[in-house]
């Protein structure tokens, strides 16, 4: 599957914290009827609308990073700071890269930091 979107990631993404309020955009990935598909054609659904019932959005790393707000007074390279925070968190949890995609790590990091979930 594309971008580390394996069965584990699909299951991890299937939660209200990630799915609620999501609107389709060109380039998004989603899981529907047993397949992972990119949203590329406007004919699939109306642009900006939620996918059909039963489909699941599969956020990319940049989608997940975008959920973590940059402080208004921050000066510097925010993506580097985020990556350093991810590395520190994952190593501290003992879950770094072995058997995990970066999408899985970012999703777990977002769920832990924004929603206090493990």
CB 59 within 8 A of CB 14: no
Domain boundaries, the chain: 2-115
Q: Quick: pLDDT tens for 60-93.
A: 888 898 888 888 888 888 888 888 888 888 888 8
CA–CA separation, 76 and 93 (whole Å): 27
Question: Phi and psi at residue 18, in whole multiples of 5°?
Answer: -95, -45
Mean pLDDT, the chain, rounded, equals 80
pTM above 0.95, yes or no: no
Rounded distance between C-alpha atoms, residue 104 and residue 71, angstroms: 24
Cα–Cα–Cα angle for 27, 81, 71, rounded to 5 degrees: 85
H or E segment and range at residue 57: strand 56-58
**Which tokens hold the place of 84?**
């350093």
């Amino acid at each position: 599957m594309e971008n580390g979107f394996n069965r584990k990631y699909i299951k991890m993404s299937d939660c209200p914290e990630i799915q609620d309020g999501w609107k389709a955009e060109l380039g998004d990935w989603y899981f529907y009827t047993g397949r992972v598909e990119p949203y590329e054609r406007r004919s699939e659904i109306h642009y900006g609308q939620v996918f059909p019932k039963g489909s699941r959005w599969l956020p990319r790393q940049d989608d997940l990073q975008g959920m973590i707000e940059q402080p208004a007074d921050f000066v510097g390279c925010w993506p580097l700071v985020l990556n350093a925070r991810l590395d520190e968190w994952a190593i501290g949890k003992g879950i770094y890269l072995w058997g995990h995609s970066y999408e899985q790590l970012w999703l777990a990091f977002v769920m832990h930091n924004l929603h206090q979930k493990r």
